[in-house]
């Protein structure tokens, strides 16, 4: 069974995230959208809110699971017996950053390789990031065009 983990903080989930998952959906038997918790990071939305946003966004996708984890993504993947990590790329800077992480993960998982699958975000969504959305929300701007309906609070 081909299962991929799509890790991230999803604070909040954006239409860019949705684009990646929607296009990856036919490639895998199951996708686990896994919210990583970083104790050093301050989130705008609680873990429960972020999980609910994702559940509602993908309610019509039966082979999508929503979960959360602490620690290394590769350790989480091993705990779920997953061999694929799904990542979206918006720009060349994303590629360089994600490439280094993917190569490190491969090195750390020599016996049980975890492959990272990169998808380019669709051009109309490549400018969207959670940090931009949070900034717009904090200044009471029109963020609704950048997020799935479930996030429109």
- Token look-up 């609680």 returns 46
**Is 17 part of the annotated catalytic residue set?**
yes
Catalytic, out of 39, 41, 110, 113: 41
78 carries a ligand binding annotation: no
Q: Is 123 annotated as a binding residue?
A: no
Catalytic residue from among 50, 80, 113, 130: 130
Q: Which residues contact 133 (CB under 8 A, 6 or more apart)?
A: 12, 14, 143, 146, 147
Would you call 152 a catalytic residue per the annotation?
no
126 is in an annotated binding site: yes
- Tell me whether the omega of the peptide bond preceding residue 12 falls within 30 degrees of 0, making it cis: yes
70 annotated as belonging to a binding site for a ligand:
no
122 is in an annotated binding site: no
Known catalytic residue: 78?
A: no
Point out the catalytic residue in the list 2, 59, 90, 110: 90
**Is there a catalytic annotation at residue 130?**
yes
| CB proximity list for 86: less than 8 A, separation 6 or greater | 4, 5, 6, 20, 21, 24, 28, 31, 116, 117, 119
Check whether 98 is labelled as a binding-site residue. Answer: yes
Residue 90 annotated as binding site? yes
Phi, psi of 68 (to 5 degrees): -140, 160
Kindly state the tokens that stand for 130: 């959670």
Q: What angle do CA 26, 128, 90 make, to 5 degrees?
A: 60
138 annotated among ligand-binding-site residues: no
Positions marked catalytic: 17, 41, 90, 130
Which residues fall in the annotated binding site for substrate?
A: 9, 41, 73, 87
- For the annotated binding site, the residues are 9-10, 17, 41, 73, 87-90, 98, 125-131
């Amino acid at each position: 069974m081909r299962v991929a983990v799509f890790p991230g903080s999803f604070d909040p989930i954006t239409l860019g995230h949705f684009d990646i998952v929607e296009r990856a959906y036919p490639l895998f038997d199951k996708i686990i959208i896994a919210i990583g918790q970083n104790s050093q990071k301050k989130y705008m939305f609680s873990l429960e809110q972020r999980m609910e946003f994702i559940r509602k966004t993908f309610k019509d996708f039966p082979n999508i699971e929503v979960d959360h984890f602490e620690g290394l993504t590769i350790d989480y993947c091993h705990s779920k017996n997953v061999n694929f990590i799904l990542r979206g790329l918006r720009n060349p800077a994303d590629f360089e950053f994600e490439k280094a992480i993917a190569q490190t993960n491969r090195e750390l998982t020599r016996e049980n390789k975890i492959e990272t699958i990169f998808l380019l975000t669709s051009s109309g969504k490549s400018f969207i990031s959670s940090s931009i959305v949070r900034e717009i929300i904090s200044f009471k701007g029109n963020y609704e065009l950048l997020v799935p309906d479930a996030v429109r609070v």
